[in-house]
Amino acid sequence: MERMRWGVLLALWLVMSPGCMNSPECGEFPLDMDQRRCVVNTIDDMVHEHYPFAEYKGIDLDEFSAELRSTLEVEDNSDVEFLGDVNYALRLLKDGHTRMEQRFLQQPATAPLEVREDGDGRYFISVIDDEDFAELRGRQVVAVDGEEVEQALRRVGQWTETGEGGAVALSGLELALAGEAGTAVHLTLDGGEEVELDRRSMMEPPQAQILGDVGYIRLDTFGFIDDLERLDQAVNDVMNTRGLIIDIRSNGGGFPSVSDGLFGRLIDEEVAPFRLVHKNGEVAREMEARPRGQAYQGEVVVLVNGRSYSASNFFAHRMTYHERGVLIGERTGGGAASPKKGVQLLPGIWFQVSSHLVLPPNGEHKESGIDPAIEVGPEDYEGGENTAPPGALRVDGDPVINRALRYLEELE
């Protein structure tokens, strides 16, 4: 069954086309009706021309067009409300790469917790990385900064707020929890209890350590364009270990050149390239992966979960397709397309659409995610989540890391 990985995700897969850097396509604020039509028509035309997953996901693009155009029929709504309705219509495409963006966060940060939706629209705290608030695990969040959860979700819709420091992953309520590093977020819990938590940066650099004779590298993002230097240092730090655990749980992606740079440190000969292919069959380019420097020779385990998206999904695909590593954890979040087509609609407002499939040599994409060889699900984790919050290097008591260590021991 296809997994619905269509929330808002800050995963910069490729730099958008130069056209998105030109003057706004639809003019300046405030918007008149002609400008609003421009926004709707531009999005609609781009989706119909480029979006590659309509048939695969069972999406009726005519229904999407009708929903999108209905935003023009609402009278007396503000520009912000209009753009919010447009964002909300994009949910029908079930694709985190096809979205509107507003770039303003200098240093993206979020509260030190993980939330999980129960299937009925209720959100519960599953992990909290703050001992002072450990008792909040399992509590329902009913409002964020005074805004009811349902309203917050509609407001963020497919609206992405991108930082200058790199790329991170946010979806649904997590986007409402986000803000600048060093600021606080106010939560209202079931029963009316109010809690204030400090937001922490989501742009932590790669972290490496030695667990006995096994190396461990945690990567919260592939979004730093200069990560090759940092990745090389992390790999060098664990080079003399017999096995390596690479933790990309909740890594929302970034640049494929960075993830392939890491892959290049794990191979000693060139492998068959993946390809970027438009829905019309045209090959945009080959994504080659070549050895880089001294190759790590030991066994490799990659830890994944449902928020391992975009470039992280691509890295997991590389590792399994070329039989260089084993996945442990949960099914990845998918995201097997490149948003190569983008446009600046309005001042500070961009739109991008998935336009090219990321295909391995056998031609089978992994848009809906990749199943791990060894599954360790939320039920195996105390608190209901098998990931540490951004920036946390959690090893003790982590069942996914412990399962990876056992797997490597069994190979001896």
Residues 60-92 have pLDDT tens digits of: 999 999 999 999 999 888 888 898 889 889 989
Q: Is the pLDDT of residue 205 over 90?
A: no
Question: Between these two residues, 250 and 171, which has the higher pLDDT value?
Answer: 250
pLDDT confidence bin for 116, thresholds 50/70/90? confident
Q: With 80 as the cut, is the pLDDT of residue 167 above it?
A: no
Domains detected in the chain: 207-336+361-410 (3.90.226.10)
Over the stretch 296-319, which tens digit does the pLDDT of each residue have? 999 999 999 888 889 999 999 999
Q: Under a CB-based contact definition with an 8 Å cutoff, are residues 109 and 199 in contact?
A: yes
The answer for residues whose C-beta is within 8 angstroms of residue 311's C-beta and 6 or more apart is 11, 13, 222, 253, 254, 255, 256, 258, 259
The 10s digit of each residue's pLDDT in 223-245 is: 776 668 889 999 999 999 999 99
Rounded to 5 degrees, what angle do the CA atoms 16, 255, 389 make? 120
Q: How confident is the model at residue 178 (pLDDT cuts 50, 70, 90)?
A: confident
pTM assigned to the model: 0.79
- Residue 162 confidence (pLDDT) above 80: no
pLDDT of 6 strictly over 60 = no
Mean pLDDT of the 154-163 span: 53
pLDDT of residue 263 exceeding 90, the answer is: yes
Helices (H), 32-113: 33-50, 54-57, 61-69, 79-89
